[in-house]
């Protein structure tokens, strides 16, 4: 059997894409390995969202030559968003790369790998010529992931990822995603429901719906009229044994009353909303082309909390976007403290090739970017801690997902609000729901004990 080593970077959509690719290759007789050195096929599923993410991959590509010296049959490929962005430039810079395949072409990977292998076999004994003879590039289809829609292969048996749409019609000026993933395309609901029904029948407990912009689900579907809340309702009806349904990512522009209502009324939908705000200053939001203001965002939050007073709320923030003044930054800090997010992912602005923000001067000094970043992180840590401490003494439902690393008696799970909980137990809790009383809290983790009725 041929061995596949596949490592995933970036977002959950990449995680799901990687499962789909694994499924296709396993169908062609591969088995997976966690050891890169023993692989016949090595793939990195990559992310372009920040420069840091790309540098990590460039670092690893540096090892390809050595790996191929040890194993001349090895095929190496870069897939996902970086493949889409850099395309054939990869071959020029790093001729040892055999395959470059974008997110819209993933379903071709097994065939392309076969072609590469055959071409190599033919080249033996002949003048091998330029490596382009034995390498393959597939980046011509931005939005064709639906061929992957019905792939049933999954890693694990508790949580399942389900892609409901890809691409993005927004054009936030800092963001590369619309260029690597293309315009929005929704998957038809019948296909989604079939997949979720299968997930339910296999005993999974938790489903996460994926899309760059899930709230605009349904837009552009030709043969049906459905929106995101309509989809949530259908999932509730079709697969009621799924206990937890989550979704990412929502855009503030399209998060609305009906969504909050559905989150309150549908038992399986978790009381957790991830609503990236990016900045607390309307002038910055305008330059980011976020299509919402500070005030609009705060109104949405008020409304969400009217419907779900105990609902969890998380966000993404960028510090140091071009033109961000100290006052703008203080507005962001103020918004963060006013909303009191349960958690926030905070990033320093990273200029991305081909994005509209490149025309703006990246004028916030690295020192200021970093200082503001640290200040937001510290403020958020204090808020997360405070919110977690408020849970001490309360009992909440936890779904246990794994054993704690290096400790046999400790199990790690999540609340419906996506808080991480660690519990000691002589019984194997993986895959189980238990009521847990919270005993103590840190900013990222709660410690608890099983609460017996
Ligand atoms: N579709 C999602 C996810 C986009 S990428 C959304 O619309 O929210 C995830 C997060 O990365 C974004 O929310 C943003 O906070 C951050 N991000 C995107 N581009 C960035 C850039 N150029 N520099 C720094 N952070 C960025
Ligand atoms: Fe990027 Fe904005 Fe689209 Fe999110 S909504 S993927 S941040 S362009
Ligand atoms: Fe990264 Fe592409 Fe996801 S850029 S965040 S892997 S959509």
One-letter-per-residue 3-state SS of 214-248: HHHCCCCCCCCCCCHHHHHHHHHHHCCCCCEEEEE
Longest Cα–Cα distance in the chain: 76
Give the residue-averaged pLDDT of 235-245. Answer: 98
**Which atom of ligand 1 lies at the shortest distance from residue 176's CA?**
19
pLDDT in tens, 308-341: 999 999 999 999 999 999 999 999 999 999 999 9
Q: What is the pLDDT of residue 122?
A: 84
pLDDT in tens, 224-237: 999 999 999 999 99
pLDDT in tens, 38-83: 999 999 999 999 999 999 999 999 999 999 999 999 999 999 999 9
Q: What is the pLDDT of residue 129?
A: 46
Per the CB < 8 A criterion, the answer to whether 411 and 426 are in contact is: no
pLDDT-based confidence at 121, cuts 50/70/90? confident
Per the CB < 8 A criterion, the answer to whether 202 and 157 are in contact is: yes
As a whole number of angstroms, the distance between CA 94 and CA 62 comes to 8
**Which atom of ligand 2 lies at the shortest distance from residue 169's CA?**
3
As a whole number of angstroms, the distance between CA 105 and CA 145 comes to 7
Q: What is the pLDDT of residue 148?
A: 62
Report which of 323, 307, 299 is spatially closest to residue 229, judged by C-alpha positions: 307
Ligand 3 atom 1: the closest Cα is on which residue?
47
Q: What is the pLDDT of residue 144?
A: 64
Q: What is the pLDDT of residue 406?
A: 76
As a whole number of angstroms, the distance between CA 99 and CA 71 comes to 17
pLDDT-based confidence at 303, cuts 50/70/90? very high
Q: Which two tokens stand for residue 296?
A: 């609009």
CA of 213 to the centre of ligand 2 (A): 7
Give the residue-averaged pLDDT of 399-422. Answer: 93
CA of 87 to the centre of ligand 1 (A): 22
Q: Say if ligand 1 is within 6 A of residue 347 CB.
A: yes
Residue to mutate, 7, 12, 13, 211, ligand 3, most ligand atoms under 8 Å from C-beta = 13
| pLDDT at 258 exceeding the cut of 70 | yes
Per the CB < 8 A criterion, the answer to whether 49 and 10 are in contact is: yes
Per the CB < 8 A criterion, the answer to whether 153 and 19 are in contact is: yes
Q: Say if ligand 2 is within 6 A of residue 251 CB.
A: yes
Give the residue-averaged pLDDT of 375-394. Answer: 98
Q: What is the pLDDT of residue 41?
A: 98
pLDDT in tens, 273-285: 999 999 999 999 9
Per the CB < 8 A criterion, the answer to whether 14 and 180 are in contact is: no
Ligand 3 atom 7: the closest Cα is on which residue?
177
Domains with residue ranges and CATH for the chain: 2-138 (3.40.50.12160), 159-389 (3.80.30.20), 395-450 (2.40.50.140)
As a whole number of angstroms, the distance between CA 67 and CA 36 comes to 9
Q: Which two tokens stand for residue 145?
A: 């992931």
Q: What is the pLDDT of residue 142?
A: 79
Interstrand relation of 136-138 and 206-210 (parallel, antiparallel or unpaired): unpaired
Ligand nearest to the CA of 355: 1
Per the CB < 8 A criterion, the answer to whether 446 and 420 are in contact is: yes
Interstrand relation of 343-348 and 312-319 (parallel, antiparallel or unpaired): parallel
Higher-pLDDT residue of 265 and 254 is: 265
Q: What is the pLDDT of residue 132?
A: 62
Q: What mean pLDDT is reported for the chain? A: 94
| pLDDT at 125 exceeding the cut of 70 | no
As a whole number of angstroms, the distance between CA 303 and CA 261 comes to 10
Q: How many CB atoms lie within 10 A of CB 345?
A: 13
CA of 245 to the centre of ligand 1 (A): 23
Report which of 48, 54, 88, 96 is spatially closest to residue 71, judged by C-alpha positions: 96
CA of 251 to the centre of ligand 2 (A): 8
Report which of 75, 64, 81, 62 is spatially closest to residue 17, judged by C-alpha positions: 81
What is the value of pTM for the model shown? 0.95
Give the residue-averaged pLDDT of 298-305. Answer: 97
- Ligand 3: residues within 6 Å at CB? 10-11, 13-14, 47-49, 80-81, 176-177, 180-181
| pLDDT at 102 exceeding the cut of 80 | yes
Give the residue-averaged pLDDT of 254-279. Answer: 96
Helices 257-265 and 228-238, interaxial angle, to 10°? Answer: 10
Q: What is the pLDDT of residue 130?
A: 47
Phi, psi of 249 (to 5 degrees): -115, 150
Per the CB < 8 A criterion, the answer to whether 263 and 273 are in contact is: yes
CA of 161 to the centre of ligand 2 (A): 20
CA of 425 to the centre of ligand 3 (A): 37
Q: What is the pLDDT of residue 189?
A: 94
The sign of the torsion formed by the CA atoms of 83, 84, 88, 92 equals negative
Q: What is the pLDDT of residue 297?
A: 97
For residue 103, CA distances in Å to 197, 306, 309 come to 25, 39, 38
**Which atom of ligand 3 lies at the shortest distance from residue 176's CA?**
4
CA of 391 to the centre of ligand 1 (A): 30
User: Minimum mean pLDDT among 212-216, 253-257, 344-348, 385-389: which range?
Assistant: 253-257
Q: What is the pLDDT of residue 418?
A: 97
């Amino acid at each position: 059997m041929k061995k596949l080593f596949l490592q995933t970077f970036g977002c959950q959509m990449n995680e799901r894409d990687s499962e789909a690719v694994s499924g296709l290759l396993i169908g062609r007789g591969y088995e997976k390995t966690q050891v890169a050195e023993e692989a016949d096929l090595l793939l990195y599923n990559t992310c372009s969202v920040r420069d840091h993410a790309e540098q990590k991959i460039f670092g690893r590509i540096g090892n390809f030559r050595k790996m191929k010296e040890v194993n001349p049959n090895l095929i190496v490929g870069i897939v996902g968003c970086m493949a889409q962005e850099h395309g054939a430039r990869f071959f020029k810079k790093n001729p040892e790369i055999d395959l470059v395949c974008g997110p819209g072409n993933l379903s071709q990977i097994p065939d392309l790998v076969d072609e590469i292998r055959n071409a190599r076999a033919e080249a033996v004994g002949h003048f091998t010529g330029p490596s382009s003879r034995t390498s393959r590039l597939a980046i011509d289809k931005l939005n064709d992931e639906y061929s992957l829609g019905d792939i049933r292969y999954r890693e694990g048996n508790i949580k399942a990822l389900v892609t409901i749409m890809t691409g993005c019609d927004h054009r936030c000026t800092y963001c590369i995603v619309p260029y690597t993933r293309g315009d929005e395309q929704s998957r038809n609901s019948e296909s989604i429901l079939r997949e979720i029904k299968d997930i339910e029948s296999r005993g999974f407990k938790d489903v996460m719906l994926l899309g760059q912009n899930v709230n605009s689900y349904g837009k552009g579907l030709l043969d049906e009229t459905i929106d995101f809340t309509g989809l949530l309702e259908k999932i509730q009806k079709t697969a009621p044994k799924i206990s937890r349904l989550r979704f990412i990512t929502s855009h503030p522009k399209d998060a609305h009353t009906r969504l909050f209502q559905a989150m309150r009324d549908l038992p399986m939908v978790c009381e957790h909303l991830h609503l990236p705000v990016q900045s607390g200053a309307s002038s910055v939001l305008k330059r980011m082309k976020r299509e919402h203001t500070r005030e609009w965002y705060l109104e949405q939050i008020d409304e969400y909390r009217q419907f779900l007073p105990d609902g969890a709320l998380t966000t993404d923030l960028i510090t140091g976007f071009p033109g961000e003044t100290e006052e703008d930054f203080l507005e962001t800090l103020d918004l963060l403290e006013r909303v009191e997010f349960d958690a926030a992912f905070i990033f320093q602005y990273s200029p991305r090739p081909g994005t509209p923000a490149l025309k703006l001067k990246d004028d916030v000094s690295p020192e200021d970017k970093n200082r503001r970043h640290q200040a937001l992180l510290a403020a958020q840590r204090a808020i997360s801690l405070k919110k977690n401490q408020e849970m001490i003494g309360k009992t909440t439902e936890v779904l246990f997902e794994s054993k704690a690393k290096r400790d046999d008696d400790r199990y790690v799970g999540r609340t419906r609000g996506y808080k991480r909980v660690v519990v000691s137990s002589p019984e194997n809790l993986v895959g189980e729901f238990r009521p847990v009383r919270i005993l103590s809290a840190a900013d990222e983790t709660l410690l608890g004990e099983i609460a017996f009725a």
